[in-house]
Structure 1
Amino acid sequence: MSKFVAVVFDLSSVHSLVNCTKWLKEALKVNPQSPLIFLVGNKMDLLSKASLAEMDRMVSRTAARLEAEYWPVSALTGENVTEMFRRMAGLAFSRLLRSELNHRHHPPISIGTVDISRKQSAKDLRKKSNCANCNI
């Protein structure tokens, strides 16, 4: 199973953003293991700063609803592409490590035969502290 799902849409098309919910549902049908979800807006190079800021507000609401991490990128210029893939790889690796650590079943290690979990009684402690030659 996949560790993440990337739903890629065209930042210059609101219609493309609207379809993301449907595309994610389709992806989750074949990926039911709670993958990390990335909402990737491509073609950021086609938008002015003002248009990108407005689209970012809409996409952020959609990303929150889908519980996705939003990444605006440009395949043409490469802007944010490397960073996004590094983030995906890092999160997938981190999740894999946590899974491995949570599923390890090692028998308890014992050293010698002493029961180190036994607590001394208060009476035993008083006896030791009353000893003239004890350094307790």
Structure 2
Amino acid sequence: MSKQYRLMDVVTKGSMPPPCDETLGLTVTYAKDGTARGVWKVNGEMINGNGVVMGGFIASAADSMMAYAIASCVQEGQHFASINLHTTFHRPAFIGEIEVEAHVERMGKSIGYLVATLVQEGKEIAAATSSVVIR
């Protein structure tokens, strides 16, 4: 079994983030009470054949930030996993910094609903929604 990362320790104690966050260049700066914020540093390896950021990377950044948002709400010993992820692209993204924010819209005993927005140079490039199972 792979190592499990305590996402809140990444934010509150400066622990190493999961490899996916490092690969993306995603830095989480805040995660509390169902809201998470951070900065995604897009590099040239994320550019597709059209010269813009590949949509899968955008969806991954949203998914990662939503994980921090839900992690700030679950109790010790609870775990969560994505059920679905829907991303709507509003405009192309380019190499540089993208602000990512996610928050828990609603959370029950076993399901959570989250939203995320990604903004580059003051313009929303994408929005994502996700449902997660909580156990």
TM-score with structure 2 length normalisation? 0.26
Q: Which has the larger radius of gyration?
A: 1
TM-score with structure 1 length normalisation? 0.26
Higher strand share: 2
